[in-house]
Chains A and B, each alone.
Chain A
Amino acid sequence: MNAAEELKQALPASVVSTGMQVEKPLVLVKKEDLLEVAAKVKEMGFDHLSVVTGVDYVDRFEVIYNFFSYGKKENLVLKVVLDHEAPEVGSLTSLWKGADWLERETYDLVGVRFTGHPNLTRILLPEGWKGHPLRKDYDMSVEQFVTIGEDGEDIVSTDGSNLLRRK
């Protein structure tokens, strides 16, 4: 019995389905119960959160968590499906501190909101950037200009007005 089935037995109400993702057990989880499942996953010994991936499928968002267990040397993949209109899911920062930046990055580039995240701000793009680039509907024809202001904070504009030096 692999980790996915074990998880399904432990929390049958939260797990939608199980499967495989190229030799890695995959669990599709209800988005409301993610935190609960993740706590169980951590309890099962999956102490390494390898990556958090957000994918825009136009009609839905998927957030995929890849775990690894140093003790058992096993992989596990968690997947949640989110609405396209308001992609929101619980944050795992309370369980894995490494999730902090990974979730911020997912928020920044894909636009998935992680509720309960202590500091959900943009990480790679400057604060004030319009749109989330890894969404399929991101408009790449709009140029955005970034400068650093007097106080060291980023200023973004689409018309380049911030590029001119003003007295």
Chain B
Amino acid sequence: METEELLINMGPVHPSTHGVLRFKLRMDGEIIKECTVVMGYLHRGTEKLAEMKTYLQFIPYTDRLDYISAMPNNYAYVKAVEELAGIEVPLRAEYIRVLTVELNRIVNHLVFMGSLLLDLGASTAIMYGFREREKALQLYEMLCGARMTFSYFRIGGVRDDLPDDFMSKLNEFIKDMEKRIEDYKGLINGNEIFMMRMKGIGVISAEEAINYGMTGPSLRGSGVNYDIRKIEPYSIYPDLDFKACVRPECDSYARYMVRIDEMEESLHILRQIADTIPKSEVVATQKYGIAPLTGMPYTAQTYFPRIFIPPAGEAYSRIEAPKGELGFYVVSDGTTKPYRVKIRSPSFCNLTAIPKMVVGLKIPDLIAAFGTIDVVLGDVDR
């Protein structure tokens, strides 16, 4: 029988590419022979923009990378600059940072869960996910006035202290969320059709996952116990009691389950922070940087300088963002602006493995596997 290969173009505008991503698929009937990823439709030149802004001015741009979870972006950048300049952050600021980042992890995984189920054709999960996300976003709104693009972190601390009633609202959220996670587990995890669609799909072995540079929950779904919060502990994570969630199955279902488990761990972290958060300043007030007018180092002050000059040098700092390892490589030449900022985005690096994962599968499996990689196009294209 004469057969013909079919070339299918998915995207850049397609319901389940989570933005503007394009797959070029060479198909044999419904089977994918080859998958080529085309991206860059959302490229905004963030790294170039960084070279034109001062260190402080660049923080809002980091929000626009992974806009589902912007706090970790803030954090990764700020942490890189702090490492470069050797800045000590007050303890309370560290607690607030971890609090916001872990809250954002829950938000991210809720959106992940919803959009994954939506990709599989179940429209209800995203509504439930967004219902809970809304409560978290209201907490963020109290904190910094913004719901998605926070710009809450500052070099040397955070912008402002927690509002008065924040902690009580947070405790409400935690209590509510505990019940909701149980609901989701009951509704989704054991669903026969869901398991049929996820189990054994998009398999990538631990060695391959490492070789492809996958990180975060996608890697932990392949059985590699690698969580930067545990292995290279930063901030207050050494003091916190939590565990890295690992599943050995290497398939889409494992990647999904890791994220659901992570939500519980993050809730656990939030609970500990709510109990133990200390009182102190929230921004570093030591003498960092040089006053531009006088050329002299700053003297006594109560805030972190707006114009800030770190020593010349370079630093690479990574954090465990909800989607994986988020790194900023910052090069300083001793001026007010960074010489070069390189963003190692987890979405971009995890996406590398997709063409490998989906060969021999069908289009619906591509969507399931792609959904469990959890990418945000702002993060891929930068």
CB-defined contacts of B224 to chain A, threshold 8 Å: 70
**Are A53 and B210 closer than 8 Å at their CB atoms?**
no
> Quick one: CB contact mask for B308-342 with A, threshold 8 Å, 1 for yes?
00000111111000000101010100000001101
Among B214, B329, B352, which residue has its beta carbon within 8 angstroms of that of A51?
B329
**Are A21 and B48 closer than 8 Å at their CB atoms?**
no
Q: How far is the CB of A36 from chain B (nearest CB, A)?
A: 19
CB-defined contacts of B51 to chain A, threshold 8 Å: 134
The 10 closest A-B pairs by CB, nearest first: A98-B213, A51-B344, A124-B40, A53-B342, A124-B43, A22-B315, A53-B329, A98-B212, A55-B340, A97-B212
> Within 8 Å of chain B (Cβ to Cβ): is A100?
yes
What are 30 A-B residue pairs whose CB atoms fall within 8 Å in the complex?
Answer: A21-B313, A21-B315, A21-B316, A22-B313, A24-B316, A48-B215, A50-B318, A53-B316, A55-B340, A56-B340, A64-B316, A70-B224, A70-B226, A73-B232, A75-B232, A97-B208, A97-B352, A100-B352, A101-B352, A102-B349, A105-B348, A123-B39, A123-B40, A124-B39, A124-B40, A124-B43, A124-B381, A125-B40, A126-B40, A134-B48
**Are A66 and B212 closer than 8 Å at their CB atoms?**
no
> Quick one: CB contact mask for A75-116 with B, threshold 8 Å, 1 for yes?
101000000000000000000111111100100010000000
**Are A49 and B213 closer than 8 Å at their CB atoms?**
yes
> Within 8 Å of chain B (Cβ to Cβ): is A149?
no
**What number of B residues sit within 8 Å (CB to CB) of A?**
43
> Within 8 Å of chain B (Cβ to Cβ): is A33?
no
CB-defined contacts of B214 to chain A, threshold 8 Å: 98
Q: How far is the CB of A24 from chain B (nearest CB, A)?
A: 7
| Majority secondary structure of chain B interface residues (helix, strand, loop or mixed) | mixed
> Within 8 Å of chain A (Cβ to Cβ): is B231?
yes
> Within 8 Å of chain B (Cβ to Cβ): is A25?
no
**Are A22 and B84 closer than 8 Å at their CB atoms?**
yes
Question: Given the complex of chains A and B, what is the CA–CA distance between A102 and B212 in angstroms?
Answer: 11
CB-defined contacts of A98 to chain B, threshold 8 Å: 211-214, 349, 352
> Within 8 Å of chain B (Cβ to Cβ): is A47?
yes
> Within 8 Å of chain A (Cβ to Cβ): is B83?
yes
**Are A47 and B9 closer than 8 Å at their CB atoms?**
no
Closest to A22 in B: B315
In this complex, the member of B43, B313, B339 whose beta carbon has the largest number of chain A beta carbons within 10 angstroms is B43
Question: Given the complex of chains A and B, what is the CA–CA distance between A66 and B382 in angstroms?
Answer: 20
> Quick one: CB contact mask for A31-58 with B, threshold 8 Å, 1 for yes?
0000000000000000111110101100
Residue pairs across A and B with CB atoms within 8 Å: the count is 96
> Within 8 Å of chain B (Cβ to Cβ): is A118?
no
Question: Given the complex of chains A and B, what is the CA–CA distance between A125 and B43 in angstroms?
Answer: 7
CB-defined contacts of A101 to chain B, threshold 8 Å: 348-349, 351-352
CB-defined contacts of A24 to chain B, threshold 8 Å: 316
* Contacts A48-B213, A50-B327, A134-B47 given; does A22 touch B83 at CB 8 Å: yes
The residues in B between 331 and 369 inclusive whose CB is less than 8 angstroms from any CB of A are 331, 339-340, 342, 344, 348-349, 351-352, 356
> Quick one: CB contact mask for B269-292 with A, threshold 8 Å, 1 for yes?
000000000000000000000000
**Additional pairs, 11, CB under 8 Å, beyond known A21-B313, A55-B339, A64-B314:** A21-B315, A22-B316, A47-B211, A64-B316, A66-B316, A75-B232, A97-B208, A101-B349, A105-B348, A125-B40, A133-B45
The residues in B between 211 and 254 inclusive whose CB is less than 8 angstroms from any CB of A are 211-215, 224, 226, 231-232
Closest to B83 in A: A22
CB-defined contacts of A152 to chain B, threshold 8 Å: 9, 24
CB-defined contacts of A126 to chain B, threshold 8 Å: 40
In this complex, the member of B40, B349, B351 whose beta carbon has the largest number of chain A beta carbons within 10 angstroms is B40
The residues in A between 127 and 166 inclusive whose CB is less than 8 angstroms from any CB of B are 133-134, 138, 152
The residues in B between 18 and 41 inclusive whose CB is less than 8 angstroms from any CB of A are 24, 39-40
